[in-house]
């Protein structure tokens, strides 16, 4: 009984505490605008009306869809390339010795620094921002996966071999589940970076998306209500994406890997 009540209370806290903090932020924001008598920075109600205006014009969902689609494509390609590459680099030390210096040299370069080259290679098209998102997500996935394979406890491998598992079965039933927590950490980091890069790339290379909304609202008519609306939407969607990745940590197939950490 006591344990059930404690669990229920924790669930309510997970809802009420963030909700209370959000309401407090909106309250401070609203009264800061009123007290300062600013005519530039919008109030929460003005931002909400701006969102309603975008929705009535059919632009709100269109911009959100375009941004999410670009991130989904670039992120998916980065995961499909990065996870196998990280496993290979972690499993084969000689390969890592040869390739790792190149990765460590390219990794600190901001994806936005590739923007001029991306425009030259792909033109002002959907491919340019997608390429930058791919670059942003690729390296965190590779490095996290590689480190996970390198830090794999030897007893897991010995146990699998003692049970007579084939190489394929050992990878499927032991190695990959044990490395999965590291992969998920890399996926979370990569998704956050990819979302950030998406905003900057859309401000330069395309004419749609939430990043474009912000720069266009600023340049076209100094519509700061729409600028802040775009910022709020970017933050809310980023939070939802992070929560979505966090949910995967609760799947039964990865729980034992987390307990082993």
Q: Give 75's contacts (C-beta < 8 A, 6+ positions apart).
A: 133, 134, 137, 190, 191, 194
| pLDDT level of residue 71 (50, 70, 90 thresholds) | very high
Residue 199: count other Cβ atoms within 10 Å of its Cβ.
Answer: 22
pLDDT digits (tens, 9 = 90+) for 10-37: 667 677 777 888 889 889 988 888 888 8
Given a cut of 60, whether residue 126 has pLDDT beyond it is: yes
Query: What are the distances in angstroms from CA 186 to CA 9, 192, 242?
Result: 32, 10, 12
Give the pLDDT of residue 261: 47
Q: What is the mean pLDDT of residues 124-146?
A: 90
Classify residue 214 as exposed, middle or buried by CB count within 10 Å of its CB (0-12, 13-18, 19+): buried
Query: Is the pLDDT at 161 greater than 50, yes or no?
Result: yes
Q: How confident is the model at residue 141 (pLDDT cuts 50, 70, 90)?
A: very high
The predicted-structure confidence for 191-213, as pLDDT tens digits, reads as follows: 999 998 988 888 877 788 898 89
The pTM score is: 0.83
Please state, in angstroms and as integers, the Cα–Cα distance from residue 152 to each residue in 6, 61, 91, 163, following that order.
35, 44, 10, 18
Measured distance between the N- and C-terminal CA atoms of the chain, rounded to whole angstroms:
31
């Amino acid at each position: 009984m006591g344990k059930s009540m404690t669990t229920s209370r924790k669930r309510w806290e997970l809802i009420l505490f963030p909700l209370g903090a959000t309401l407090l932020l909106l309250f401070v924001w609203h009264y800061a605008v009123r007290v300062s008598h600013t005519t530039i920075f919008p109030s929460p109600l003005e931002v909400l009306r701006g969102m309603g205006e975008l929705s009535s014009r059919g632009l709100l969902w269109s911009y959100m869809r375009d941004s999410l689609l670009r991130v989904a494509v670039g992120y998916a390609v980065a995961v499909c390339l990065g996870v196998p590459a990280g496993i290979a680099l972690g499993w084969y030390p000689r390969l890592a010795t040869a390739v790792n210096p190149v990765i460590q040299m390219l990794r600190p370069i901001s994806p936005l620094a590739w923007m001029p080259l991306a425009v030259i290679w792909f033109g002002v098209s959907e491919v340019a921002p997608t390429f930058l998102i791919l670059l942003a997500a690729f390296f965190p996935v590779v490095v996290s996966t590689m480190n996970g394979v390198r830090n794999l406890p030897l007893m897991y491998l010995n146990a699998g071999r003692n049970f007579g598992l084939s190489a394929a079965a050992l990878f499927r039933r032991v190695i990959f589940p044990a490395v999965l927590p590291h992969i998920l950490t890399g996926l979370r980091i990569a998704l956050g970076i990819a979302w950030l890069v998406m905003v900057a790339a859309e401000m330069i290379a395309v004419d749609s998306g939430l990043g474009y909304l912000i720069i266009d609202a600023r340049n076209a008519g100094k519509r700061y209500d729409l600028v802040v609306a775009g910022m709020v939407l970017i933050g809310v969607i980023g939070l939802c994406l992070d929560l979505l990745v966090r949910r995967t940590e609760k799947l039964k197939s990865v729980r034992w890997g987390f307990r082993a950490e």
